[in-house]
Structure 1
Amino acid sequence: MSSSSASSSNMPASFINPESVMDALPISPERRSLLTRLKNDKLSNLRPPSEFFDRERFSKPSGMVDITQRLSYNLTYFQSNYILVVLGLLIYCLITNFWLLFTIIFLVFGLNFIRKLPPNEPFVFQSFVITQKQLYSGLIFISVPLLWISSAGSAIFWIVGASAVLVLGHAAFLAPGVDSQFNQV
């Protein structure tokens, strides 16, 4: 069998199906439907990069009135693109800060483990009997130092600051398109 016929009959190994990833995550069905609704509502009107990075429309605003008009128009028109910018900064922050990524994974799996335990039955580990309150307290007791070591507070401020500079800078310096004139009438 040739390699071209084998690759055409099977999907490549690097292909990842988004639904299978969502099913593998420890997320409740209610939160999964919320994420799906967010994806369908907010990210459905994603603008193309040629429009988002249109160099001909970048210009210096003439004053505060012009800045507020540009912000008002661009923040609503490019809302989905700005959400992707913030998510990209968040992913970049997690990739470059291993301890923060480890801490978040530890918290998610710890909370998911405790949530899946039967509500009124204690957890028995060897000869120790541990209640759910004690498990939550232990998770908090371990997570607080991990969050401090991973600089979670500074990461949050960095994401907020970098997002504000990028999003507000783009929105203030990008002149509204021709279609904005028709929307005002």
Structure 2
Amino acid sequence: MTTSTSTSQTIPGGFGGVGGFGLDSLPISQERLTLLNRFKSERLGNIRPMGEFFDRNRISKPNGMGDIAHRLSYNLTYFQSNYIIIVIGLLIYCLITNLWLVLTILFLLGGLNYIRKLPPNEPLVILERSISQKQLYIGLFSVAIPLLWISSAGSTIFWIIGASATLVIGHAALLEPGVEGGFASNV
């Protein structure tokens, strides 16, 4: 009597096994998947309710720099997961509104994935010319850098940083710490 064991790996969350789509067909390693799962559980595991995050009764003008520093210290740690969601939302908004940037990123990732899958010591032969992996990387980046400039990747990055900092620091400075924050500072 023989027993068959399945060696295919599936992705948590219902993606594995759909139409033969397992972990082996993705350009993501098991270590990266573990890192993403750990990020999800540690960083995004304590998302605060929206009613608490947007509590209008706790919004007030700070009394000085000491009060701002106290509010920032408390709110940045207490609402850390909510702030990460805001930054991710702004990133997704930028990608949705800038199709050229999305196409450039897909081109760059596709090229990197293609070059990575080539055998390391065998050059690629195109029209009787052999091209090494190093030359392929140089060619990819020499095309991708102007594409990133045309698609305004730099200004998008600075916009995300500025908008995120404004929203997160503004919220953290204007929202008074909760009742549990008063007990934590007295201990």
Task: Determine the C-alpha separation between the residues in 1 that align with 2:78 and 2:91.
Answer: 22
Q: Which moved more, 1:17-26 or 1:124-133?
A: 17-26
Which structure 2 residue ranges, 5 or more long, are not aligned? 1-11, 17-21
What does residue 153 of structure 1 align with?
A: 154
2:81 maps to 1:86 = no
Report the counterpart of residue 169 of structure 1 in structure 2. 170
Structure 1 portions without partners, runs of 5+: 1-16
Map of 1:77 onto structure 2: 78
Percent identity over the alignment is: 64
* SS class of match (1:46): coil
3-state SS of paired residue (2:15): helix
Partners of 1:161 and 1:102 in 2: how far apart? 24
Per the TM alignment, residue 19 of structure 1 is displaced from its structure 2 partner at its CA by 4.9
- Would you say the 8 A contact 1:103–1:143 is kept in 2? yes
- What SS does the corresponding residue of 1:129 show, helix, strand or coil? strand
Q: C-alpha distance in 1, partners of 2:14/2:156? A: 29
Residue 28 of structure 1, CA deviation:
2.4
The answer to whether the 8 A contact 1:70-1:176 is kept is: yes
Query: 1:59 maps to what in 2?
Result: 60
Q: 1:25 and 1:46, CA in 2 relative to 1: closer, same or farther beyond 3 A?
A: farther
The structure in which a higher percent of residues are helix is 1
CA contact (8 A) 1:26 1:109 kept: no
Separation in structure 2 between the aligned mates of residue 124 and residue 33 of structure 1, nearest angstrom: 37
Residues 75 and 171, structure 1, Cα contact 8 Å, conserved in 2: yes
Q: Deviations over 1:89-117 (max 9, x none)?
A: 00100110111111111111111111111
How far residue 26 of structure 1 moved from its aligned partner, in angstroms, is 2.4
In structure 2, the residue matched to 1:117 is 118
CA RMSD after TM alignment: 1.7
Contact 1:70 1:174 in 2 (8 A): yes
Deviation >6 Å, runs of 4+: none
Counterpart Cα distance in 2 of 1:149 and 1:62: 46
Residue deviations 1:75-101 (CA, integer Å, cap 9, x gap): 000001100100000010011011111
Q: Write the distance in 1 (CA, Å) between the matches of 2:128 and 2:48.
A: 59
The AA in structure 2 aligned to 1:31 is R
| TM-score normalised by the chain length of structure 1 | 0.86
Task: Count the aligned residue pairs.
Answer: 169
The structure, 1 or 2, with the larger RCO (C-alpha pairs under 8 Å, 6+ apart) is 1
